[in-house]
Amino acid sequence: MTRLPIYLDHNASAPLLPEARAAHVGALDLCGNPSSVHGHGRALRNLIETARDQVAALAGADRQQVVFTGSATEAITQAIAGSVRPLGIDAIVISAAEHAAVGKAAEITGLPVTVVGIDVDGVIRVDEIAARLQAADASGERLLVAVHAVNNETGVIQPTGKIEALVGTTRHYFFIDAVQAFGKLPLEFGTRAPDMMAVSAHKIGGPVGVGALLMKAHAEGAILVPGGGQEQGRRGGTESAALIAGFGAAALAFPQRYDASRIAGLTAEITAGLQAIAPEIVVFGANVERAGNVVNFAVPGLGSAVAMMGLDLLGVSISSGSACSSGKVGPSHVLKAMGVAPELAASALRVSLGWSSTSEDVKAFLIGFETVLGRYRARRERAA
C-alpha cells in the first residue's frame, strides 16, 4: 500500500485554513506595537479589532466580551484560577471528563474541588451538580462550576443548557470550556447565562498559540495577567496581531469551510466501514448526541498504540482516545469515568474530521485500518 498523508486528527489541531494563513502571514511583516498611537501601531490595532469582531460573531458574543489569550489553556486557567479570589469563590465543581487544563487549574486554586461523574454514555451527571449546588445554597458557599461543552475524545455534547439553568445567575459562577464546540455548535455567549467561556484558534483552522476568553462584565475581576493593561486590563502582554488576525480570519471563514452535514456523512461512512471490517467494534458515546466529526472506537484486543503506529507507517494520522503531551499513549480518564473496562479502553482510537477531510481520506483510512487489523488477526491466529 502506498504511503498517503491522511490527516484525521482535527480535534488535536485542525490544518490551517488558507484564509487564516493569508491574514497571519500578511500581518507578520507589519512592525510596531498595537498600543502605539502612531500609524504603525494603529494598523496593528485595526487588525486586532477586526479579529475581535470576527471571533465575537462566531461565538455570538459582544465584541467587548472577547479577551485574546495565548491559548485556550491560558483562558481556562484565567477563568478558574484567576477568578477564585476576586469573585469570592469558595469551591469548584468540575466533571470527571474535563480536559487536563480544567482539572489542573482547579487544583492550583487550593480550593475544595468536587468532581462529578459522567454516565456510561459519557454525559455529565447533572443530578450530581444539582446536589452539590443544593448543598452550597444551604451552607452559603459560592461555587464556580466549570465544565466542557463537547468532549474532545468522544465528541459527546454535554447538557450545558441544563447545567446553566441549575447554576442560575445570582450566587454562583459558570464557566464553559467551549474549545471543541466553537464553530460546530452555536455558543450564543452574549444571550446565554455562562459568565465565561474559553475557545481556541487552532481547533477551527486558525494558527496555534492564540485563544480567547469570553467574559461577561461582572466576571472581569478574574484577571491573571494584568501586565501593561492590554485587552482593557484583562490580559497584559503585547498582543500578537499576526496570530490574532489569523484567528479572526479563521472565525470568519470557518462556517463556510466546515460543512457539518458533509462531515457527519463522512463519519457515518467511517462507522459503517469499521462495522463491516470488524463487527465486534465498540463505538463510545454511540447512544447520545455527539458533534458529528468524531468516531471514538475500539476493536477488542487490538491495542491503541499498535493500531496508531501501524496506521502512521501507512501515512494515516489518527489519535488514541487520549495522548499526553509527551506523545505517550496513556489510559483515557474519560473512558475510565464512563466505566469502560481498562482492557477495552486500551484499544481506544479516535478519528476526528474537519474542514479539509474528504471521502478519499475516509477510504484511505478504512483500507489502512483493514490492513492493520488483518495483520493483528494473522498474528493472533499464528499465536493460537
Contact 208, 51 (CB under 8 A): no
Looking at beta carbons only, is 249 or 334 nearer to ligand PLP?
A: 334
Contact 296, 344 (CB under 8 A): no
Nearest-approach distance from CB 248 to ligand PLP, in angstroms: 16
Looking at beta carbons only, is 148 or 257 nearer to ligand PLP?
A: 148
| Residue 335: count of CB within 10 angstroms of its CB | 25
Catalytic residue chosen out of the listed positions 324, 325, 326, 327: 324
CA distance 70 to 82: 15
Write the CB contacts of 44 (distance below 8 Å, at least 6 apart in sequence).
27, 30, 32, 33, 34, 239, 241
Looking at beta carbons only, is 201 or 223 nearer to ligand PLP?
A: 201
Nearest-approach distance from CB 201 to ligand PLP, in angstroms: 7
Per-position b or e across 158-183, b if 16+ CB within 10 A of its CB: bbbeebbebbeeeebbbbbbbbbbbb
Nearest-approach distance from CB 214 to ligand PLP, in angstroms: 14
Looking at beta carbons only, is 293 or 299 nearer to ligand PLP?
A: 293
Q: Where are the beta strands (DSSP E) in 58-98?
A: 66-69, 91-95
Nearest-approach distance from CB 51 to ligand PLP, in angstroms: 16
| Residue 18: count of CB within 10 angstroms of its CB | 12
Nearest-approach distance from CB 383 to ligand PLP, in angstroms: 37
Amino acid at 236: G
Looking at beta carbons only, is 54 or 372 nearer to ligand PLP?
A: 54
Looking at beta carbons only, is 61 or 179 nearer to ligand PLP?
A: 179
CA angle (93 as vertex; 89, 98 as ends), nearest 5: 130
Contact 338, 296 (CB under 8 A): no
Q: Is 324 a catalytic residue?
A: yes
CA torsion 141→147→149→150, rounded to 10°? -160
Grid cell, residue 298, equals: 475500539
Nearest-approach distance from CB 72 to ligand PLP, in angstroms: 3
CA distance 61 to 46: 19
Grid cell, residue 182, equals: 466553537
Positions in the binding site for ligand PLP (CB under 6 A): 71-73, 99, 101, 148, 152, 177, 179-180, 200, 211
Q: Report the catalytic residues.
A: 324
